[in-house]
């Protein structure tokens, strides 16, 4: 991936061209984009104040961390900016200022002040999905959105994995479809992962996918594509952002607060629904491809929050 254009470095600052190699350190295309964007913000901040940003003194980075906190950035976002600064310096052969105690102490202070609790989006559970599907219209748009919602849910796919699917990644078998994920967050080497999607007797995700491909006449290339107002199906693939927009649109049409949901809600919804239904954790991990059982604990706690509640007998 080619890095995004960046503004020219101020006089006396080493050219950012020397840091372009940092892309090799990033684990994914999404990370590369995030690092590029974050470092551009740091560069502009330093330029406005006449401060060197490459290499940057530890005092400058500490001040930048404080600036991010003071302007309302969340701890997770600040950590991303710090990681981007570290990656650029490391790739350029410079001392890494973020490893200094001054920067680390500033980060600790930010975490204590702002807290580290993340705002989690609501899961699109099986019941929520049923409500949303009732409001999906007919036609090409409806066929695409229905298939996207159901395959994203049934295969517990990340947004990037969902829009990256090609027809060649779908293997038809008697019991359903094997979805081949060529590259993912937990498979950066591209060894590939397989996810079984049953035909199902209720939501029927495979039927929805077949209906889309037949209606849109998709026989090769991207599965999920843009459709213009005239009903013409494009040749490109949808973006990550499109997945979130589609989820929000249809849960909103079902009378739910769309702001509570995101593209990740489909994946989270499968986990929540499976655990609530009593599915074995290891079987859930076969679908989600989580590598640690502890990662699923937050979903399990939510799914079983009222089971055998301590106050059930007296509240």
Annotated catalytic sites, by residue? Answer: 158, 185, 264, 267, 290, 299
Q: What one-character-per-residue DSSP string does 181-245 give?
A: E-SBTTBTT---EEEEEE--SSS-HHHHHHHHHHHTT--SSBSS--B-TT-PBPSSPPPHHHHHH
Q: Which helix (H) or strand (E) holds 172?
A: strand 170-173
Q: Which two tokens stand for residue 45?
A: 């901040």
Nearest alpha-carbon partner for 52 in 21, 93, 16: 16
Q: Is 174 exposed, middle or buried, given 0-12, 13-18 or 19+ CB atoms closer than 10 A? A: exposed
Phi-psi region of 204 (alpha: psi -120 to 50; beta: other; left: phi over 0): left
Q: Which two tokens stand for residue 164?
A: 């990256």
How many residues are given for the chain?
315
Q: Is 107 helix (H, G, I), strand (E, B) or coil?
A: helix
CB neighbour list of residue 60: distance below 8 Å, 6 or more residues apart: 46, 51, 52, 53, 97
């Amino acid at each position: 991936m080619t890095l995004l254009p960046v503004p020219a470095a101020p006089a006396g600052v080493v050219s950012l061209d020397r840091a372009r190699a940092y892309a090799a350190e990033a684990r994914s295309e999404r990370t590369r984009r995030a690092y590029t964007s974050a470092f551009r913000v740091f560069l502009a901040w330093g330029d406005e104040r006449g401060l060197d940003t490459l290499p940057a003194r530890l005092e400058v980075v500490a001040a930048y961390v404080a600036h991010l906190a003071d302007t309302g950035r969340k701890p997770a976002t600040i950590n991303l900016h710090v990681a981007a600064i570290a990656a650029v310096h490391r790739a350029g052969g410079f001392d890494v200022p973020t490893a200094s105690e001054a920067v680390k102490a500033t980060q600790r202070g930010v975490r204590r002040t702002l807290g580290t609790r993340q705002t989690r989006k609501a899961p699109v559970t099986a019941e929520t999905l049923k409500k949303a599907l009732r409001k999906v219209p007919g036609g090409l748009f409806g066929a695409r959105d229905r298939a996207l919602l159901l395959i994203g849910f049934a295969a517990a796919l990340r947004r990037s994995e969902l829009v990256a699917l090609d027809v060649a990644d779908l293997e038809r078998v008697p019991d359903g479809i094997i979805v081949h994920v060529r590259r993912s967050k937990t498979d950066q080497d591209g060894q590939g992962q397989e996810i079984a999607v049953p035909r199902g007797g209720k939501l029927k995700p495979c039927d929805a996918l077949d209906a889309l491909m037949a209606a849109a006449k998709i026989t090769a290339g991207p599965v999920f594509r843009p459709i213009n107002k005239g009903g013409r199906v494009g040749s490109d693939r949808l973006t990550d952002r499109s997945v979130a927009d589609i989820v929000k649109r249809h849960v909103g049409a079902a009378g739910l607060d769309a702001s509570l949901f995101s593209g990740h809600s489909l994946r989270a919804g499968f986990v929540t629904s499976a655990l609530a239904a009593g599915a074995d954790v290891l079987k859930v991990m076969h679908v989600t491809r989580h590598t640690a059982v502890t990662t699923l604990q937050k979903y399990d706690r939510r799914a079983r929050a009222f089971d055998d509640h301590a106050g059930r007998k007296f509240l």
